[in-house]
């Protein structure tokens, strides 16, 4: 059992939590505070949750298969994260429904809120390591809320850990109704309602972060949430777009944790612990698997297939010719503005990258599944490139398909569409996740 963290620094240092220190006269105070805070954080990667007096209640009401899946996924997680999930499940059982909000003994909530301009699927879901780290370090229940393009529950629902806001018609008095107004093509001031929650990183720049954010401000904000004047605030929000390398560095340097979550088995384990497709998305996903002639998820007896993603437009150009326009007439991100004139350097560059990716995939296929006819599913951030590769390779040994055959709407930049209009992006994600 970890020792409880030491008491906060003496009051004379407390002012450094809330102000950006620029004067040389207070540099020594600030340096002392950062060092002491770093020492505290390094001793508390797995915080002391004993104050809540709630043993792990597990999945006692679930079928045996659910318990088996949970154990299997937990075995792929670092201990601190498996323990956090255990605690999270226990808290939601101990304080069911709105009791998590109304019971004074219940822990606080940390909500990853998408109110406005939150990025695409990677920006929203790719930073799970940071999300869960923040929740663990603040001793709070991790939740997710989207204003755009629609509530996240249209696409993803809880699997083993409940991250949803407890809302129903009977509990509307506990929430600002604007939070749940985005059930049709356009939300009504949902972003304003989210903005009324206090932010975990209030006073700091949590978007397009600088060096100070990663090295100092995170510590100051976490300490404010645990020991400072935000410790009694029931709901804190944030929308940090995490950087994998920064989390890896922090976990190793501060906590001697070698599993960075990103790019290890811990990420899919955490993802499937949290999420499963919604009923509507699952129906469309089943149809897509049948249409594309590939196996249903986790059917390991089916022939293998490979997914290739050629991200031509990111960064927003290359050394020979910059890409001038990021957004086209339809507002699609990363799909317009790539020069496709015959003989242009951008077209040559795009084709070379795509062909090289196919060669790499073929090489892997020959090593792993030599006896199978390869199926390759091709993604790109240029519709022109997808069309070109489909025509060039459709009748050769490599089968190139765009996942759904329809325009994939960007969930951040293309708004005011019906919620199901965004299924294609999630279908692409889940199909690629099952690739060999």
Cβ atoms 75, 147 nearer than 8 A:
no
pTM: predicted TM-score of the whole model, two decimal places: 0.78
Residues 6+ away with beta carbon under 8 Å from 249: none
Give Cα separations from 67 to 58, 299, 427 (angstroms).
8, 20, 27
Residues 6+ away with beta carbon under 8 Å from 2: 43, 44, 45, 46, 47, 48
Cβ atoms 366, 421 nearer than 8 A:
no
Q: Cα separation of 98 and 335, whole Å?
A: 43
Higher pLDDT pick, 428 / 195: 428
Q: List, for residues 363-380, the tens digit of each pLDDT value.
A: 888 887 666 666 788 888
Cβ atoms 144, 158 nearer than 8 A:
no
Q: List, for residues 204-228, the tens digit of each pLDDT value.
A: 887 778 889 999 999 999 999 999 9
Of all residues in the chain, the percent with pLDDT exceeding 70 is: 68
Mean of the per-residue pLDDT values for the chain? 75
Question: Residue 11: its pLDDT value, please?
Answer: 30
Report cis status (omega within 30 of 0) of the bond before 149: yes
Element (H, E) at 133: helix 128-138
* SS3 call for 140: coil
Q: Cα separation of 219 and 137, whole Å?
A: 10
Question: Residue 138: its pLDDT value, please?
Answer: 95
Provide the 8-state DSSP code for 213: I
Q: List, for residues 277-292, the tens digit of each pLDDT value.
A: 999 999 998 888 887 7
Element (H, E) at 310: strand 306-310
Question: Residue 71: its pLDDT value, please?
Answer: 82
Give the confidence band of 330 by pLDDT, cuts at 50, 70, 90.
very low
User: Above 80 in pLDDT, residue 232?
Assistant: yes
Q: Cα separation of 282 and 123, whole Å?
A: 22
Question: Residue 402: its pLDDT value, please?
Answer: 53
Cβ atoms 107, 94 nearer than 8 A:
no
The pair phi, psi for residue 199, each rounded to 5°, is -95, 140
Question: Residue 36: its pLDDT value, please?
Answer: 32
Q: List, for residues 244-271, the tens digit of each pLDDT value.
A: 889 999 999 999 999 999 889 999 999 9
Question: Residue 33: its pLDDT value, please?
Answer: 28
Residue range 126-147: mean pLDDT, rounded: 94
Q: Cα separation of 266 and 232, whole Å?
A: 32
Question: Residue 310: its pLDDT value, please?
Answer: 84
Question: Residue 182: its pLDDT value, please?
Answer: 57
User: Above 70 in pLDDT, residue 52?
Assistant: no
Higher pLDDT pick, 391 / 337: 391
Give Cα separations from 303 to 96, 172, 211, 403 (angstroms).
44, 49, 47, 17
User: Above 70 in pLDDT, residue 243?
Assistant: yes
Question: Residue 114: its pLDDT value, please?
Answer: 86
Q: Look at the chain and count its residues.
A: 436
Give Cα separations from 274 to 131, 271, 325, 370 (angstroms).
12, 5, 37, 35
């Amino acid at each position: 059992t970890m020792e409880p963290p030491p008491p906060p620094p003496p009051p004379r240092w407390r002012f450094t939590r809330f102000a950006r220190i620029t004067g040389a006269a207070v540099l020594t105070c600030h340096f002392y505070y950062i060092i002491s805070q770093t020492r505290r954080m390094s001793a508390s990667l797995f915080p002391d949750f004993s104050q809540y007096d709630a043993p792990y209640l597990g999945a006692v009401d679930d079928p045996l298969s659910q318990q088996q899946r949970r154990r299997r996924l937990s075995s792929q997680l670092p201990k601190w994260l498996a323990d956090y999930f255990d605690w999270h499940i226990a808290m939601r059982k101990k304080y069911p429904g709105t009791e998590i909000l109304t019971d004074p003994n219940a822990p606080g909530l940390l909500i990853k809120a998408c109110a406005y301009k939150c990025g695409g699927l990677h920006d929203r879901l790719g930073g799970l390591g940071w999300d869960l780290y923040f929740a663990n370090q603040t001793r709070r229940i991790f939740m997710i809320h989207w204003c755009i393009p629609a509530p996240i529950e249209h696409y993803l629902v809880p699997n083993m850990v409940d991250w949803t806001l407890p809302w129903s018609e009977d509990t509307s008095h506990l929430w600002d109704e604007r939070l749940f107004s985005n059930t049709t093509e356009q939300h009504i001031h949902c972003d304003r309602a989210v903005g009324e929650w206090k932010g975990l990183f209030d006073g700091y720049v949590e978007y397009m972060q600088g060096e100070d954010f990663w090295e100092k401000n995170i510590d100051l904000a976490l300490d404010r949430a645990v020991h400072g004047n935000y410790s009694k605030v029931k709901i804190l929000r944030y929308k940090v777009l995490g950087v994998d390398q920064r989390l890896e560095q922090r976990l190793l340097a501060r906590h001697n944790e070698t599993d960075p979550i990103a790019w290890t088995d811990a990420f899919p384990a955490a993802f499937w612990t949290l999420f499963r497709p919604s009923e509507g998305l699952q129906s469309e996903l089943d149809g897509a698997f049948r249409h594309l002639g590939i196996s249903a998820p986790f059917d390991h007896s089916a022939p293998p297939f490979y997914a290739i993603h050629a991200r031509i437009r990111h960064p927003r150009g290359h050394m020979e010719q910059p890409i001038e326009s990021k957004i086209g007439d339809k507002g699609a991100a990363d799909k317009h503005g790539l020069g496709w004139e015959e003989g242009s350097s951008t077209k040559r560059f795009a084709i070379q990258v795509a062909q090289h990716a196919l060669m790499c995939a073929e090489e892997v296929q020959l090593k792993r599944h030599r006896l199978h006819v390869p199926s390759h599913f091709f993604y790109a951030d240029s519709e022109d490139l997808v069309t070109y590769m489909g025509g060039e390779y459709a009748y050769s040994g490599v089968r190139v398909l765009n996942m759904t055959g329809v325009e994939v709407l960007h969930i951040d930049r293309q708004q005011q569409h019906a919620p199901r209009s965004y299924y294609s992006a999630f279908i692409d994600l889940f199909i690629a996740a099952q690739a060999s």
